[in-house]
Chains A and B, each alone.
Chain A
Amino acid sequence: MNQAHAPTVETASLRKRASAGAWIMALLWLAGIVAAMAGITRYAIAPGREGEIPTHWPSASRIVPDTVRPTLIMFAHPHCPCTRASVGELARLMADCHGTISAQVWFVKPAGTAEDWTNTDLWASAARIPGVTVHCDAAGGEAQRFGADTSGQTVLYNQSGDLLFHGGITIERGHFGDNPGAIAVKALVNHQLTDRIQTPVFGCSLLDEECRPDKGGTTWKP
């Protein structure tokens, strides 16, 4: 064997040291990744801020409640990617409720935004849901009246204007699938539940910070 290619004790030691270094790096990498994943997961499941939801239909609202059926109102940011899941879950909910509720989606248009601010695919998606009417909440007045801070905020009032449910109908940001909010709405509509139900809301902030009624900052983190 060529002596130049013969493994020496020194090169073997170096190789072993390099291998050990790689293993250590791998472990550190794994630890970092796990930590990051945990952090992201924790953040992902952190709900958005929810304002003071009126327990009775606010009288100042220009929204006309349905007197025959419970009225469900969802406030949405037309550009919030997470709200796509909320609209999707609304579609499922409406399908499951078979017209037993009246549903409206109000897309908030902050002040100073362009006219086509609400002209998004999300609007179109919501508009395609049978039994759902879509509206523009200019300057977010209705959202403020209903205490909605986070896109996807859903409220359900009965025919008497009493608050039955408030929160989100997704279990996480942008997550499709069964969720406590939708289940609660269906149960309430079907009179299987009588207590008021609240679930966390996952989505973008509907209003600019300065537009918030409390101006007390935000729990949302970009």
Chain B
Amino acid sequence: MENKNKYWRGLEELNNDAAFVAGKKNEFAEGIPLLEALNDDEGEFQSNRRDFLKYFGFSISAVALAACNQTPIKNVIPYVFKPENITPGNANWYASTCGACPTGCSILVKTREGRPIKIEGNSDSPVFKGGVCAKGHASLLGLYDNERLQAPKKDNNSSTWSEIDGEIAKALSSAKNIRIVHGTVNSPTTKKVLIDFAAKFPNSKTVNYEAVSYAALIEANKNAFGKAVVPSYNFANAKVIVSFAADFLGTWISPVEFAKAWVSKRKVSATNKEMSRHIQFESNLSMTGSNADVRYPIKPSMEGIILLNLYNKIAAKAGAPILPSVTNVEVVVNGIELTANELWNAKGNSLLISGSNNLDNQLLVAAINSMLGNFGTTVDLDNFSNQVSGDDSGFEKFVEEMESGAVDAVIFYNSNPAYSYYNSSRFANALKKVGTTITTNSSTDETGVFCKYQCPDNHYLESWNDAEPKLGYLGLTQPTITKVFDTRQAQESLLIWSGNNEEYYSYLKNNWSTMLGSSVDWNQCIHNGFIVLPSKSTSSNSFNANLSGVVAPITTSYTQSKDKLELKVYQKVSIGDGTHANNPWLQELPDPVSRTCWDNYLTIGKASADQLDLKDGDVVTVSSGKNKIENLPVMVQPGQANKTIGIALGYGRTNGGKVANGVGANAYTFTSFQNGTVSYMVADVSISKTGDGYKLAQTQTHHTIEGRNLIRDASLKEFQNDSKAGNHDSAHIISLWEEHDNKGHKWGMAIDMNACTGCGSCIVSCSAENNVPVVGRKEVIRSREMHWLRIDRYYTFKDTNTKASVSKEKEINADDNAIDFENVRVQFQPVMCQQCNHAPCETVCPVYATTHSSEGLNQMTYNRCIGTRYCANNCPYKVRRFNWFKLRDNDQFDFYMNNDLGRMVINPDVTVRSRGVMEKCTFCVQRIQAGKLKAKLENRTMVDGDVKTACQQSCPADAIVFGDLMDKDSEISKLYRNERSYVMLEEYNVQPSVYYMTKIRNTDETIAGTHKDAHKGGNEKHEEHKEEKEHAHS
């Protein structure tokens, strides 16, 4: 082992040259010209070619960089003292309670740099389970509405709080009769404020006023069970749901809660093949009716007589006395029988509800539910709901009092009767007789213009408050921003006027410790946003109202209205009762069924329209007695019961604000006070054509699916036999492209079409999250809405001759006399960018503005886009949206992106797109990045559920699932493998990342089976049963 040196670097080393030995010491043989570089005196400086290139290159790039700097320099002022919890770029979340309506959903408010930018559901809430409706999402924009009152006003002139308080205190102390008119109050502390106020002013009374009243429901429960409450409904326990025109998934009482519960009985899988059956009786095609398994179009006046017959059929089974009734009720004789059987078979687990504000109807509903034993299981009178209210006769009395001059001071809180009262001029005239008129509404609305003092309330995102939507479920509202304007919380105003100068915050806190005792941790409550108290055990409810009185009026109204055209006014999912009509997000949210936005209109069935010679876009005058609406556009609505029309409430605001004013017509004029409640139907209306035309803003102009395989469905029976039912079509795929090499993550989405109700919450959530601009009516008419996510709605009709399902325009037009336009099948399908793996848009972009990410996303580089629109043309799903104009800072689009306050809602994580570029759904890439960052900071890999897209998070039906496909155990990976999953246009092999799951309809077999057992009728019934079957199989 002597000679270790086996290898030489060269002959020099072997020979051990002197020069080599000397050089070996240095790392670099030739040495580094370091000294040269350090000692370069002016005269001796020698630059070589390389130096020249270096300096040249540097100077050129320096000059180029300097020349590039043309953008005006804007100075950002940093925090002098940084607030403890605010780190620029990091979001803070606050648990709160939604104040958009008294439903009181638990929410989380996302704030960035101290401003709320997004509302999301609080998924910890056992009642609302993380869902938020479209109105809730959109209520955020109300905070940044620059038309809100910016300070108190007296006689429509700006004033100060101290001045106005002094005058009001004086006026109130001298007043003999004070009335506080309020909407539904679900807040226990607010109720206490009102009680305190009444204690201070013994001559004051509160008047409950709701634009859309539930007085009959409350009254019925009072008569029947001695409990004047709105019950809680538990749809999760209901195997059979029968709804009489109650739009419980869209607008009735607590839609998010109901949707969550309803859908829990609708989701099916290979292991759970049971689902509830949902039967809907209604005249207008509501969103809820569109989702029903069986839907019976009826006239509103028939509701009572059908309930009466239903009552008798169930009473016969239950052995209860039968009421006298007209038995041969048209159209749905069989339907009543089948419905009765269904309900009876699911005794104790069924649910009957009615959206009617008619006491007789509600009494019958209570009686039937009672016979079915549903109290305690699906209907709960003890843990009642505070979410809606109504005292129609009380308000009527109040108006009379005002007219008589007996009232000398009135305070409006959270109510706007001058707009929504059925006779608004009567109300206005009566109000003029009141000496001191005070409103706490946040803008000068229709009632506000008649008020001497306007004391604007805070937005709920600026307020402290609480809510008890259901007994034992307490929510807290906390401010997420300091007050934008010089407004003051209404409760605080009332406290001050009643001489209590305590801050509402401490008043609230004290009240909570009184209510809940000191053991409850206040800070924990604020952190959680809600607290659940032990629920009351249900007491037995025996029905003890006398039903004999209901028969005569129900029979009369049925027989009287036989051939008359009836009107039912309804609430749209987006605009509701009109409170949020000034919200551009809601105005642009298309109605789930009609896909129409920015207007209300007259919906009429095809048969009635043909009779009256009306077609889409005709302008008509609708009148009933001396009430009328002029210039209302017509929309022929499939599914609308014959001889009925519908008009949406909430439009025709005159002082709603620049967005709301002049949009549509006020349909409250057709409501009326009858038999102690406000009626939302008119038994006899007439229509006359004006001869004008009007174009409605529809986001979808073709309504049938043309027999295409885009939506796959099956009946429950078929599904029970075969989990892949309806989903056997699969294409033989040949690929021309190489597969992408995904590393790390691959994002995918699945949409359960059995769950999606079409409510549109996801659309508003997406718009808020992704800064999607509002374009307005004219641009929607030109099919240029910007929504990244849309919900397609398709109708399928039945040909009464061939009994076949028809969805092709050609076939419908060819034989439209044979088509049953009244019985329509509706299907919703949310469509966003499908994030194709072989994306047709990517190959055609000349400048690589749209490319594929390593995580399977199809991404848009706005800055690179030159706007050829080729990608949009080549997109088979037509999900790409082009910025036709500059949609921000442009007064042509006067919604919110053109003013400083409105722009505060913009999500700083998402680029605001410029004119001339293409945009589309990104799968909320900013959330994906945030999720990855969070996992990285916590030094862990991502887990399923770390990232939720905005649409997924908001969905009240949990229809959307998003996740990482590389994680084989993630929910999305499982859904990809599900038998019900498919992709649209599979044969084109664009390989979308969005999977849809077949729609399963619980249509036929059960009804047919029971029908045979309870066989009483003749051939006619068999006919219908057969049709049902075909209906389901088609």
> Is chain B a partner of chain A in the same complex?
no
Chain B residues with CB under 8 Å of chain A are none
Chain A residues with CB under 8 Å of chain B are none
